[in-house]
Amino acid sequence: MTYELQESSIVEVSRESNGDGITIEFKKGDRWSYLAYLGEGNFLIRFGNATYVAGQDLYEKSTKVEASGNSDQSTHDEWLRLKCANGAIGWIFFNEIKNAPGLTGPNIVGYGIAADLQSHPKSAAKKPHR
């Protein structure tokens, strides 16, 4: 997703490559790309030819730009780690199953934790009284 700055702003970010903190002086109209959410309000962005970790302040000063024709392209791959009943671990590439019938969003139960959805047992059919 591409975002555009609505006002000139000085923003503290850190380089993804080495974690060094730097200051970027964004100008109104500058565009940056959202790459991935990291947690606690931090996310990866691409600005120019570099990747940075930015915070909520950058997001709040920007608006989403309409997606281009190939907006389904992702800059990061998303994989789902699955643990089978027999203990085996498997991985599924999310883009291959994201539109599958019956697939829903995660059941978030805590920070960084999702759980299986619990099925609701059908109520027992009431037997007629005799």
Residue 117 exposure: Cα atoms within 13 Å on the Cβ side: 9
pLDDT bucket at 94, cuts 50 / 70 / 90: confident
* pLDDT, tens digit, 9 for 90 and up, residues 8-64: 999 999 998 888 899 999 999 999 998 888 878 888 999 988 999 998 889 889 999
Domain check: are 13 and 46 in the same one?
yes
3-class DSSP state for residue 107?
strand
**Phi and psi at residue 71, to the nearest 5°:** -70, -10
| Domain-located, residue 57 | yes
pLDDT value at residue 71: 47
The answer to the question of residue 84 being in a domain is yes
Q: Is residue 87 part of a domain?
A: yes
Looking at residue 35, what DSSP letter applies?
E
**How many domains does the chain divide into?**
2
Q: Are 35 and 44 in contact, with CB atoms under 8 Å apart?
A: yes
Does the pLDDT of residue 129 top 70, yes or no?
Answer: no
- Over range 108-113, report the average pLDDT: 66
Asked if 59 contacts 13 with a C-beta cutoff of 8 angstroms, the reply is no
84 and 59 in a single domain? The answer is: no
Mean pLDDT of all residues in the chain?
79
The answer on pLDDT for 75 being more than 80 is no
Q: Which domain holds residue 84?
A: 79-114
Whether residue 86 is predicted with pLDDT greater than 80 in this model: the reply is yes
